[in-house]
């Protein structure tokens, strides 16, 4: 499973990952169609790392996106890449978004 390339999710957001380095590190861009404030799509930088797959395994990976210029939030993604019998590559992920809040008392509402 090759992480590098262009990926599209169910909300039509796009992620482009540059080549994965020998140590598993990668970077790229995330073009989200979903924003907290609404409006048009925005491109933001991403950085991540891939665990090198073992014998017969599919690689796990994690990356963060700093929502550049339109939101004071960061999202962390963790997932795994799979290839089906037909050769189709699929990334499955879970994500955690953190927004900035004004005080410790508001901390409860900062994470989605």
Model confidence pLDDT, tens digit, residues 57-99: 788 999 999 887 667 889 999 999 998 899 898 999 999 989 8
- List, for residues 46-59, the tens digit of each pLDDT value: 999 998 766 667 88
Angle of CA points 77, 83, 85, to nearest 5°: 155
Distance CA 93, CA 62 (A): 9
- pLDDT score for 45: 92
Mean pLDDT of 31-46: 72
- pLDDT score for 52: 77
User: CATH classification of 5-109, choosing from 3.30.43.10, 2.40.128.30, 1.10.8.60, 1.10.10.10?
Assistant: 2.40.128.30
Q: Which pairs from 59-64 meet CB under 8 Å and 24+ separation?
A: 59/1, 59/3, 61/3, 61/24, 61/91, 63/26
Structure tokens at 69: 């210029």
pTM to 2 decimal places: 0.82
Q: Is the pLDDT of residue 37 over 70?
A: no
Distance CA 82, CA 58 (A): 6
């Amino acid at each position: 499973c090759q992480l590098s390339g262009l990926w599209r999710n169910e909300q039509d957001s796009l992620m482009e990952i540059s080549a994965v380095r020998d140590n598993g590190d990668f970077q790229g861009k995330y073009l989200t169609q979903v924003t907290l404030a609404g409006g048009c799509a925005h491109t933001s930088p991403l950085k991540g790392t891939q665990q090198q797959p073992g014998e017969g395994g599919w690689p796990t990976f994690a990356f963060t996106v700093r929502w550049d210029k339109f939101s004071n939030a960061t999202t962390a993604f963790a997932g795994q890449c799979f290839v089906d019998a037909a050769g189709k590559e699929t990334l499955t992920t879970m994500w955690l978004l953190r927004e900035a809040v004004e005080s410790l008392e508001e901390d409860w509402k900062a994470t989605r």
